Structure 1
Amino acid sequence: MPRKDRRMKKSRRRVIKIAGTLLILLFALVGYVFYQYYQGLQTAETLLDKNINLEPEEFNSAIPNELGKVNVLLLGVDKRSDEKASRTDTIMVAQYDPSTNDLKLASFMRDIQVEIPNYKNYRINTAYFLDGAELLRTTMKHNFDIDLHYYALVDFQGFEAAVDSLAPDGIKIDVEKAMSEKIGVSLQPGLQQLNGKELLGYARFRQDSRGDFARVERQQKVINALKDEVLSFVGISKIPKVVGTVQPFVETNLGNIEIIGLLSDFILNKPNDIQTLRIPVEDSYQEIRNDLGSVLEIDFDQNKQALREFLGE
């Protein structure tokens, strides 16, 4: 056989060997992802209350603009089976911009007094209680002129399970003071590794002089800590299991394709930090008492402008 033919044959064998190795690695990776995801689902099955309905609700999504930015309404609730409806304990808008890899998080204080369409004035967290995610979406649009493309409602039990799946040894948090009242756990000051239940309690604590204002700061601090854990090498390897664990506890109109797309962008183009905003912004509100109790009366024009500038819309 001529030397040239021998070289070509040897080169073809090398290409076939490399391709075969890559194919085996690909199958191994796919198998690992499905195995981890299935393990997460099994974990969730042992915790999930079968009486809780988390089927997607009506949500008339806005059409994404030409910039490709995605606004997701994030809601945290304690959706117990003996309750027909729940007030949203946490209301946030997360924006991801794939073109710049910016991740932004705007937190809305739940005691803001707003106009709820077709109802009288209430606290903003009452909108979901009255008629679900769609009424909250229209309330956000009516009061803050913000377009929302998706929503995701996370039950607190799912949050705890996801944290424990992601970080079995806990998430490192510097607890600034002793906390125990109305959060189901007892926390002491100092740098600690908090498990899912403890981290949720830390994020929900509001029994001090700063109330919801400090609670919103802690929630944003927790989100940043979770982001760092997810984007660590070990955290990325656990994402399939975490998704499987938390999925049964999440009510959302995001489809699997959208979730995979957002996760892929997020992992491949890691954001350096999460930019945060609190609504109402400083010097734009006053605390008053009326027939609803203690509420925040805010300057909507000032807050709409701040939100518009923050989200770049």
Structure 2
Amino acid sequence: MVAQYDPHSKKAKLVTIMRDSYVNIPGESPHYNKINSAYSQGGPELLRKTIKKNFGIDVNHFITIDFKGFVKVIDMIAPEGIEVNVTKKMIEDMNLNVEPGAQKLHGKDLLSYVRFRHDKLSDFGRVQRQQEVLSLLKDTFKEQLGSVNGILELPEIGEEIIRDIDTDMDFKTFLSLGKVVLFDQVKGIESMRVPVPNSYSNREYPHAGQVLQLDLDENKEAIQNFFEKNPKPVTKEKSE
């Protein structure tokens, strides 16, 4: 996922690049492979270079989280759970003790929800659920911490969260992102998926298996048109 926040328009945007997208990976042999192999081969830095090479997007910072960390962060930020709509198929697949419909799921079950892909939408449905949960988590985070007590607890919560993630941001920068959610009143999260509709085909290669063969020019243009091309920098306050 690639996210952008413009503090002046107060808009947040999120692009999910499907993990089976067949792209040009710098320095890897073969040069074309699934985009998720960039991370497995060279970590965040190679993934950053791959995104820039294929889509012309320069990623400034990264945050990664594993399954265990996801569960801990969800239960910390949303101790009462996140309400999502679960289907009978999901309940059977995830072995949930709930009825179909709107249900509040906690960390472990919510992890299963965002990973579920055993329906007709497959990975495309999973992407939708991941974006849905991020948006709901943002709203819950704001509600939980949007009080005087919540503001005082923010540094402590930030310290807890940063222990469960990997990032190239220092704590001060990371904490400022939390304050953006609380004080800048983010006006929702706009999201899109890559590949965009009608811009890919299903292919299979011996070295990569089944992939999404992208029209790279069309998807590159779509991403660049979606993101703010020249977001204004945040104005720093001068100290007296």
> What's the TM-score once normalised by structure 2's chain length?
0.86
CA distance in 2, matches of 1:170, 1:301: 41
Correspondence for 1:207: 118
Q: Secondary structure at the match of 1:178?
A: helix
Q: Aligned-pair distance for 1:179? A: 1.6
Q: Secondary structure at the match of 1:312?
A: coil
Q: Aligned-pair distance for 1:167? A: 2.1
How many residues in Structure 1 have an aligned counterpart in Structure 2?
222
2:85 matches 1:174: yes
- Worse-superposed segment, 163-172 or 213-222: 163-172
* 2:89 maps to amino acid: A
Correspondence for 1:52: none
Mapping of 1:126-141 within 5 angstroms? 126-141=37-52
Query: Among 210, 217, 230, which residue is 1:294 paired with?
Result: 210
Query: Among 228, 231, 236, which residue is 1:312 paired with?
Result: 228
**Are the counterparts in 2 of residues 179 and 186 from structure 1 also a CA contact under 8 Å?**
no
Answer 1 or 2: higher relative contact order, Cα 8 Å, separation at least 6.
2
Correspondence for 1:145: 56
Q: Aligned-pair distance for 1:185? A: 5.6
Query: Among 81, 96, 107, which residue is 1:196 paired with?
Result: 107
Correspondence for 1:97: 6
2:135 matches 1:224: yes
Q: RMSD of the TM alignment (CA)?
A: 2.0
Structure 1 unaligned blocks of 5 or more: 1-91
1:85-129 CA deviation, whole Å, 9 max, x = no partner?
A: xxxxxxx00111111111111001001011111121111001111
Mapping of 1:1-313 within 5 angstroms? 92-119=1-28, 120=30, 121-179=32-90, 188-233=99-144, 237=150, 239-291=154-206, 292-313=208-229
- Worse-superposed segment, 297-306 or 260-269: 260-269
Go from structure 1 to structure 2 and tell me whether the alpha carbon gap of 1:265 and 1:283 turns closer, same or farther (over 3 Å shift). Answer: same
> What's the TM-score once normalised by structure 1's chain length?
0.66
- Worse-superposed segment, 301-310 or 160-169: 160-169
Structure 2 unaligned blocks of 5 or more: 230-240
**Are the counterparts in 2 of residues 171 and 225 from structure 1 also a CA contact under 8 Å?**
yes
* 1:282 maps to amino acid: P
CA distance in 2, matches of 1:136, 1:204: 21
Go from structure 1 to structure 2 and tell me whether the alpha carbon gap of 1:101 and 1:117 turns closer, same or farther (over 3 Å shift). Answer: same
CA distance in 2, matches of 1:184, 1:235: 34
CA distance in 2, matches of 1:247, 1:183: 28
Q: Quote the sequence identity (%).
A: 39
Go from structure 1 to structure 2 and tell me whether the alpha carbon gap of 1:144 and 1:183 turns closer, same or farther (over 3 Å shift). Answer: farther
* 1:123 maps to amino acid: K
Structure 1 stretches (4+) deviating beyond 6 angstroms?
Answer: none
